[in-house]
Copies of this chain bind each other. A is one copy, B any other.
Amino acid sequence: MAKSVRRSTPRPYHHGNLASALVDAALLLLDETQDWNFSLREVARRASVSHNAPYKHFPEKRDLLAAVAARGFEALAESTLSSLEGLTDARERLLACGRTFVARGIANPALYRLMFSAVLTSPEAGRPAIEKVAAAKARAIMDKAFADATQSGVFPPSLASPGEGAAATLAMWSILHGLTMLAIDDFVGPPKDIEALVDPILGALLNGISSQPPALPAHIWIAPRL
């Protein structure tokens, strides 16, 4: 803790990099309280800085939370990728995506809730940029798995069209998100058993999609606002 200690990363300013230390502290508090109603001041306390220091890095509390959510999406992307390692069957890969998605949510409910919550969304600017790019990264992985599955014949070729493809991925996205939410918000349980349900449930959806793809009413456009 001595000030003379040299770090491998050069610390450009007073603290080193407060910003990421604050995110760390917030991540911890989020896990402890399972709620993002903790005070900015408490976060500052944990980082051993004054109650106003955070404002030099995050204009509002919301911005800190957005940075936390971004971390969550990055972690999700990483886990998903590593869960895909070694799997070659396209359908297997889709199921693996689903399993890690739900598992991560159940492992850290408050973080998951925050990531998909709209507390972050400001009326005029929408979702903060930092979160958008992190979320897009995570989303791209699943979209790719889906596209691969289409190409390798798991789904009918019509799903390669942007419209039908979007509807199908939205369906998958929805069922996973819904299942996770219901589990972490205590509407069904116990959580570990819910995880085991991803395969059969997502499996049923995939079957339904391949036998009769969700037909998009013409002219409808689904905006993936990530």
Contact = CB atoms under 8 A, between A and B. Distances in A.
Interface string A197-226: 100110111111101111111001111111
Contacts of A157: none
Given A173-B182, A174-B179, A186-B126, A221 B193 contact: yes
Given A175-B175, A224-B188, A204 B193 contact: no
Query: So how many copies of this chain end up in the complex?
Result: 2
Contacts of A196: 217, 220
A176 interface: yes
B201 A204 contact: no
A41 B222 CA distance: 40
B223 A212 contact: no
A142 B116 CA distance: 26
A209 B204 CA distance: 5
B171 A175 contact: yes
Nearest to A113: B118
Interface residues of A, number: 58
A45 B224 CA distance: 40
Interface in A12-41: 34-35
A214 B220 CA distance: 30
Given A175-B205, A185-B116, A211 B211 contact: yes
Given A116-B182, A177-B182, 13 more contacts: A35-B119, A113-B118, A118-B186, A173-B182, A174-B174, A174-B176, A174-B178, A174-B182, A175-B205, A177-B181, A178-B178, A196-B220, A197-B217
17 contacts: A35-B119, A116-B187, A117-B185, A167-B200, A171-B205, A174-B182, A177-B177, A181-B181, A197-B220, A201-B214, A203-B212, A203-B214, A204-B208, A204-B213, A207-B207, A207-B211, A211-B211
Interface of A: 34-35, 109, 113, 116-119, 121, 126-127, 167-168, 170-171, 173-179, 181-182, 184-190, 193-194, 196-197, 200-201, 203-209, 211-217, 220-226
User: When A and B form their complex, which 7 residue pairs have the shortest distance between CB atoms, in order from nearest?
Assistant: A208-B208, A178-B178, A174-B178, A200-B214, A177-B178, A207-B208, A174-B179
